[in-house]
Structure 1
Amino acid sequence: MHKSFLEDFSFPGSKVFRYGSTGIPTDFTYKIGISSPSEPDTKILSFKLNPEEDAGPGKGPEIISKKFTHFGSYSARLKVPDARKKQPNVGAVVGYFTYHEDDEEGLSEIDFEWLIADPKIIYVGTWTGKPGNLQRIGRIINLAEGKIVETISKVNYDGKPTLLKGMQNIPESIPAIENYDASSQFYTYGFDWKAAGLRWWMLHPETADTVVLWDYQGSQLGIPHHASKYRMNFWHTKDWAVEGNPESLEQPEFPFELEVDWMRYVKK
């Protein structure tokens, strides 16, 4: 089990993360310890999509913690790619998350996701349970407009969503962050994982105050309880379109780049 750590990707390697498949960095997998094209004085983890790669979350670049993580506070500073001018209907997902599937206990997943066809929208939630009976709780937020699109639970990917209310729906409104665009600059995002609840948040880009995106409590529904692996990935999706644009499923035509400044885990 990992103790608390901060990986700032300053050097060409990592003591706490491994690459998701071959472990060999290439132009279309990952590079660690290179200068950010957005902030030249910042060293980053860089992921680039291979335009010829197949669709699916296991196909694109990914890093995975070498050991398990569990209850605690997770945070990262990252900048998603800007694809709207080059390919506005691209189908591509940035995932910042925990994930582990246990044979006995099932799935443990907590996630932040951005579909880069519209980087004003944030997806947060969890998956728990076993195949055939997977439980989802999730919230979709258009942060530039201050609009919570939905806060739901459902069973399996194609299940009928049920709106969450009360303590499972806090806050009920979120003020807009003017001009929020996850591809325009680096932002700090995080989630706090406890046995009794989950909280997703980010730091306001001007005030550095904590903006609570979802403070989920009052129910055990959807809360993972067994240890997981800490991850970041970037992949092509052909069947998950961004909210409001059903055409955004295209194979990437360019090597869009995800930039990650650091990832932190504080064990509780």
Structure 2
Amino acid sequence: MRPAARSRSEALNPMNEVRNRRSVKNSRRRRVYLVSASLTALVLTAGGTAMAVQQTKTTTPDDASTVAYGKRSAYPASDGAAQRVQKKHRKKRPTTTPTQTATAEPSASTSSASTEPTAPTAPTATAATTKPASSNGVFAGPKKTENWTSNVSELYTKYERGGSTIKGGVSDSGATDGKAVSLTIPAGAGSSPGNAAELASKEQFTYGSFSSRVKTADCSAQPNTGAVTGIFTYGNDGTDKDGDGLTDNSEIDIEVLCARPDVLNLTIYTDYEDSTAKSQRVSRMVDLAAGKVISTCYYTDFSGECKEVLSGTQASPATVPAISGFDSSKSYNDYKIDWTADGVTFTITDSSGKELTLWDYKGPAERIPNRPASYLVNFWHTSDWAAEGRPKSVQSPTSPLTVSVDSSVTQALR
């Protein structure tokens, strides 16, 4: 999510003052479903719920606020053989208020962001490392790193909605450089990504490598809290260039539900039609503490029906080893998405430095996104997406909750 992630769940310009969902993730024009002239007028008057991405390298400051909106995602909340799917909120564009505006960024000279040389750096292999197939030097674009040593960024725009707050340059002994950015939602946070604390890249990508070192929120004091951490790419300009009758949706999600910090939800979207809730997506759920792949499926709608249980190159690796005691809220882990025209690879590097491939998806071309997308990290309250095995975990938080991001790295394919 979307948002956007996740789910939950477009290219952005640097700016001095910025106003304000499956991302989670741009210059956008309104998507309006033209049923009749009167309906069009009504949608425009209401402000619209679906936004679109302009496929250029820049976007206006005001439109940046809609980056993760117009998106709705589904996540595999498996309940055994049925492998049922629960839907989450539509990502509606928030009303612009003082609590929902983008944080103004000073000039780039005050940012802690850095751009590294174009030559890609191969990950250091260890005996416990499973190197993803798509990370062996194929990404040749400039590697851009945001370490969040201050409260500003030349690479990302911060969005604080529904009482959420974002603060960079926070002292954190667990962070690599001692500094992190905090994404906080308040007690009683409103449900939906429209109230998310969100970081969105000011650049769009068509293929690339994206990673963030993140410590998710600790909900142990309220185990049935409904809250989502999303690390994802997202782009949707409202068009159907592949001609399949559904709006194209470029989206790749890593999401963690607060009630199950041991489980990761991975989703790849190529289509999502807001007016009908039809979609094309593949999803995998992994229990890292148990070393268990819970489900790997292809879905076409939000009915909860797995249309195809994936196998072979669409479900590789078939198994994943356990990370003993894994809890995403107790320590930082590096979550990475490697995206090419041939597939998507999801990996995690845990706090001990061990790298693990969670899913090396190689499927039909029509199941791999090929449209521009932004890179996002967000945090929000969900009231209708319960965690695996915790059907009551949709409560509003009774105290503020925080996700910490140590750093984020983007690298274009070329």
Whether the TM-score (by the shorter chain) exceeds 0.5 is yes
Determine if the alignment matches structure 1 residue 255 to structure 2 residue 400. yes
Q: Secondary structure at the match of 1:234?
A: strand
How far apart are residue 159 of structure 1 and its match?
4.7
Q: Secondary structure at the match of 2:365?
A: coil
Alpha-carbon displacement from aligned partner over 1:79-107 (angstroms, at most 9, x marks no partner): 001112x1000000000101121121421
Whether the 8 Å CA contact 1:50–1:60 is kept in 2: the answer is no
Whole-Å Cα distance in 2 between the matches of residues 21 and 34 of structure 1? 17
Alignment match, 1:193: 339
How far apart are residue 158 of structure 1 and its match?
2.6
How far apart are residue 29 of structure 1 and its match?
1.6
Q: 1:29-178 to 2 correspondence within 5 Å?
A: 29-36=165-172, 38-39=174-175, 42-84=178-220, 86-105=221-240, 106-131=248-273, 132=276, 133-161=278-306, 162-178=308-324
Letter in 1 for 2:339: W
Letter in 2 for 1:171: P
Runs of 4+ in 1 over 3 A off after TM superposition: 1-4, 37-41
Among candidates 215, 218, 229, match of residue 374 of structure 2: 229
Whether the 8 Å CA contact 1:140–1:150 is kept in 2: the answer is yes
Report the structure, 1 or 2, having the larger strand content.
1
Alpha-carbon displacement from aligned partner over 1:1-40 (angstroms, at most 9, x marks no partner): 4953111111110101112367xxx983200111127559
Whether the 8 Å CA contact 1:73–1:192 is kept in 2: the answer is yes
Whether the 8 Å CA contact 2:208–2:412 is kept in 1: the answer is yes
**Stretch of structure 1 that moved more, 87-96 or 214-223:** 214-223
Q: Secondary structure at the match of 2:314?
A: helix
Alignment match, 1:202: 348
Change (3 A) 1:135 1:17: same
Q: Secondary structure at the match of 1:102?
A: coil
**Stretch of structure 1 that moved more, 173-182 or 62-71:** 62-71
Alpha-carbon displacement from aligned partner over 1:191-231 (angstroms, at most 9, x marks no partner): 1000010000011433x342100000032243110110110
How many aligned positions are there?
263
Whole-Å Cα distance in 2 between the matches of residues 159 and 122 of structure 1? 18
User: What percent identity do the matched residue pairs reach?
Assistant: 33
With CA pairs under 8 Å and 6+ residues apart, which has the higher RCO, 1 or 2? 1
Among candidates 143, 148, 158, match of residue 19 of structure 1: 158
Greater radius of gyration (CA): 2
How far apart are residue 175 of structure 1 and its match?
0.7
Change (3 A) 1:4 1:158: farther
Q: Secondary structure at the match of 1:145?
A: coil
Q: Secondary structure at the match of 2:367?
A: coil
Whole-Å Cα distance in 2 between the matches of residues 98 and 113 of structure 1? 12
**Stretch of structure 1 that moved more, 155-164 or 115-124:** 155-164
Change (3 A) 1:82 1:219: same
Whole-Å Cα distance in 2 between the matches of residues 140 and 63 of structure 1? 24
Whether the 8 Å CA contact 1:35–1:41 is kept in 2: the answer is no
Whether the 8 Å CA contact 2:184–2:402 is kept in 1: the answer is yes
Among candidates 334, 338, 358, match of residue 213 of structure 1: 358
Q: Secondary structure at the match of 1:167?
A: helix
The TM-score with structure 2 as length reference comes to 0.61
Letter in 1 for 2:393: S
Whether the 8 Å CA contact 1:28–1:255 is kept in 2: the answer is no
Whole-Å Cα distance in 2 between the matches of residues 21 and 38 of structure 1? 24
Report the structure, 1 or 2, having the larger helix content.
2
Whether the 8 Å CA contact 1:77–1:189 is kept in 2: the answer is yes
How far apart are residue 146 of structure 1 and its match?
0.2
Letter in 1 for 2:259: A
Give structure 2 stretches of 5+ with no counterpart. 1-56, 59-141, 241-247
Q: Secondary structure at the match of 1:58?
A: helix
Whether the 8 Å CA contact 1:53–1:60 is kept in 2: the answer is no
Letter in 1 for 2:229: V
Whether the 8 Å CA contact 2:201–2:376 is kept in 1: the answer is yes
